[in-house]
């Protein structure tokens, strides 16, 4: 099949299989742990670092190191250690043994904005578990729940796996090319601040005929410097997402954007801020695609909207004004960088 793509396309060095983890630094690991446990993660400490994991059997998907609050790295899962070696040869760097939980091998890179990218393979995993949260839905046409009631146990959500993260980048096309060339990402939606003014994209893994999430990595060219936009964790059901929402409210945690259902990706969403300002999302029922699904162009108004629920919080600034300012920002940068 002819590949449809946006931006330049080259055969990638490897095709990553998924996101592995996100890594942050924080000055108070106890405060971070308290929030992450309220968020539903299973937390443990090892080697002076705080780890969070879910029910997918992977050794961890969230790491916090002691230090000034900041985002440190995104981890990606390679298919094999042979893929790591191929990428290491391309980059002229060495594959290292990982000394973190799960072991395996790791290749450490820096992207064009200086973000650390940790590509891993060969970690040891436990068997995944799939806790049943809630009961089958009775609908007007089908009543699968017969002679039994719904009785939910109050408490945190049950994050199963990490699904995606987002990065603010200084030049979208440069970052897009860097990630696609190395990791084989495919564009699901390219986001335009105005017609013919690309601002960013949702990128998914190329797993051929195997379904993969709507996006694994989001890149957005935004003012304000490099920063992590959010990290998102899949929960098993709408009931579990809502239980977690209620629990975080009871714990007086700081909400950011909830509750709703996205347009791009379609997932039910619930965003919260950790004690150091990082945004974390619970989500469920997201779109999945195979590699032959063509990309689309979407407006920033679509990006910021919801099928139901509130639009993304923008203070009192209308989304139209934000789109105009971002378009001006991208056009100005393009003019001075002489980027076509």
> What pLDDT is stored for residue 145 in this prediction?
93
In degrees rounded to 5, what are phi and psi of residue 269?
-130, 155
pLDDT(322) > 90: no
User: Is-above-0.85 flag for pTM?
Assistant: yes
CA distances from 43 to 1, 29, 311 (A): 44, 11, 32
For 188-224, write each residue's pLDDT tens digit.
Answer: 999 998 888 999 999 999 999 999 999 999 999 998 8
pLDDT(183) > 50: yes
Average confidence (pLDDT) over 311-338: 79
pLDDT(339) > 80: no
pLDDT(315) > 80: no
> What pLDDT is stored for residue 318 in this prediction?
80
Average confidence (pLDDT) over 62-68: 98
For 18-47, write each residue's pLDDT tens digit.
Answer: 999 999 999 999 999 999 999 999 999 999
């Amino acid at each position: 099949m002819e590949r449809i793509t946006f931006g330049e396309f080259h055969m990638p060095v490897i095709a990553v299989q998924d996101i592995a983890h996100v890594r942050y630094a924080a000055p108070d690991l106890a405060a971070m742990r308290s929030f992450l446990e309220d968020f539903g993660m299973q937390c443990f400490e090892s080697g002076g670092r705080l780890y969070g994991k879910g029910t997918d059997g992977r050794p961890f998907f969230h790491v916090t190191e002691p230090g000034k609050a900041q985002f440190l790295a995104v981890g990606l899962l390679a298919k094999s250690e042979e893929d790591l070696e191929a990428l290491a040869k391309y980059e002229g760097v060495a594959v290292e043994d990982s000394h973190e939980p799960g072991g395996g091998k790791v290749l450490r890179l820096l992207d064009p904005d200086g973000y650390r990218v940790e590509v891993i393979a060969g970690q040891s995993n436990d068997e995944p578990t799939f806790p049943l949260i809630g009961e089958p839905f009775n609908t007007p046409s089908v009543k699968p729940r017969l002679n039994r009631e719904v009785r939910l146990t109050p408490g945190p959500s049950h994050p199963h796996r990490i699904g995606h993260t987002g990065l603010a980048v200084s030049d979208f096309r440069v970052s897009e090319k860097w990630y696609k060339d190395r990791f084989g990402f495919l564009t699901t939606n390219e986001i335009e601040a105005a017609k013919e003014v690309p601002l960013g994209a949702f990128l998914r893994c190329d797993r051929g005929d195997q379904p993969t999430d709507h996006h694994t990595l989001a890149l957005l060219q935004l003012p304000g410097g490099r920063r992590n936009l959010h990290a998102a964790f899949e929960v098993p059901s709408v009931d579990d997402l809502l239980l977690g929402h209620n629990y975080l409210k009871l714990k007086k945690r700081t909400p950011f954007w909830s509750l709703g259902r996205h347009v791009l990706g379609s997932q039910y969403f619930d965003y919260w801020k950790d004690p150091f300002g990082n945004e974390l999302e619970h989500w469920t029922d997201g779109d999945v695609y195979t590699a032959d699904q063509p990309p689309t162009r979407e407006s920033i108004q679509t990006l910021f909207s919801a099928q139901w629920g509130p639009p993304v919080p923008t203070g009192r600034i209308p989304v139209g004004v934000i789109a105009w300012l971002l378009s001006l920002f991208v056009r100005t940068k393009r003019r001075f960088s002489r980027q076509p």
